[in-house]
Structure 1
Amino acid sequence: MSTQSVSGLPPSLIISSRDMARLEALLDSPVLSRHPAALALMDELNRAEVLPPEQMPANVVTMHSQVECEDAATGEQHVLTLVYPNEADVEKGRVSVLAPVGSALLGLSVGQTIDWQAPGGRPLKLQVKAVRYQPEAAGDLHR
């Protein structure tokens, strides 16, 4: 999985301080400390700009955001909700932040694109088309 912007560099990421604290606590778990998905997420967190929840732009993917994405290769539309691992349910579009697409989506803004491999190795290029719901924008700071 990789995230890229037009310049070939990873796109900029913005994460709320609340999400950062919760994700760092999750990653401190001894079970996850050496897990490849946890290490990938930590890399994403380490390069993110951190803002207070009330300053989060409404077009940024945060935890519990519902996001519309489009596969640039096929035009296929996806609606995903970014959740913690214990809340994941792929059939309902609830994607774990520890899944490759989940950690790649976290902190992206509308218009940004991620490249990743779907299960089975098929390459996907997903563009964030809209953030349908974001807890911070909705004033739901306890979610």
Structure 2
Amino acid sequence: MNTRHELPPITLAANDYNRLLFTAMIRQKHNRRASDFLLKELRRAKVCHPAALPEDVVSTNCRVIYRIDDELKSRAHLLVHPEDLIWPGAEISVTTPLGTALLGLRVGDCMSFVDDGEVHEVFVEGIGLRFLDDGPTVERTPGSITWA
């Protein structure tokens, strides 16, 4: 059966989009197929300010609860940039086929992806903790604002 599903819309924070675009371009020599999938997803993404990212959207640095195919048991991993991967048992790189498929989805969405030549479908069940990037912080003193 050759059923074609419409791709779910995806939303990315601008900081994720910029960092992932750079990562995909750098990794093209390393793994062309994975980079092409990531670039394709970045091209179709709606990009927003990080503060405007809806709470039910999968982003990097968030714990995502999901199922693959018809599995009965849910999985949960922290979605991270490849250079931030420190504990593979609890984290998944956004540059893997599964990580790219999860990126930008909303709770309740499903997305197909290819891994080791096999087509799978991932279903997002929930979003856990979201860790914020260490961007500039604001220090307030009477009469002024200082960026640290």
Cα shift readout 1:16-66 (whole Å, capped 9, x = no counterpart): 00101111222232x535721111100000000000000000000011111
In structure 2, runs of 5+ residues without a counterpart are 136-148
1:75 to 60, 72, 76: 72
| Aligned residue type for 1:77 | S
Structure 1 residue 92, shift from structure 2 partner: 1.8
Whole-Å separation in 2 of the counterparts to 1:87 and 1:32: 19
Whole-Å separation in 1 of the counterparts to 2:121 and 2:72: 10
The structure with the larger Rg is: 2
- Flag the 1:85–1:141 CA change in 2: closer, same or farther, 3 A: closer
2:123 to 124, 127, 130: 127
The root-mean-square deviation of aligned C-alpha atoms, in Å, is: 2.3
Q: Does 1:104 align with 2:101?
A: yes
| Aligned residue type for 1:51 | C
2:53 to 53, 56, 61: 56
Whole-Å separation in 2 of the counterparts to 1:55 and 1:118: 32
Residues 82 and 95, structure 2, Cα contact 8 Å, conserved in 1? yes
Structure 1 residue 133, shift from structure 2 partner: 1.6
Query: Which structure has more RCO (C-alpha within 8 Å, separation ≥ 6)?
Result: 1
- Flag the 1:117–1:40 CA change in 2: closer, same or farther, 3 A: closer
Whole-Å separation in 2 of the counterparts to 1:119 and 1:79: 21
User: Which TM-score applies when normalising by structure 1?
Assistant: 0.79
Structure 1 residue 77, shift from structure 2 partner: 1.0
Structure 1 residue 127, shift from structure 2 partner: 1.1
The 3-state SS of whatever aligns with 2:78 is strand
Query: Moved runs in structure 1, 4+ residues, more than 4 A?
Result: 117-120
Within 5 Å, which residues of 2 pair with 1:13-32? 13-29=10-26, 31-32=27-28
Structure 1 residue 74, shift from structure 2 partner: 2.3
User: Which TM-score applies when normalising by structure 2?
Assistant: 0.77
Residues 62 and 82, structure 1, Cα contact 8 Å, conserved in 2? yes
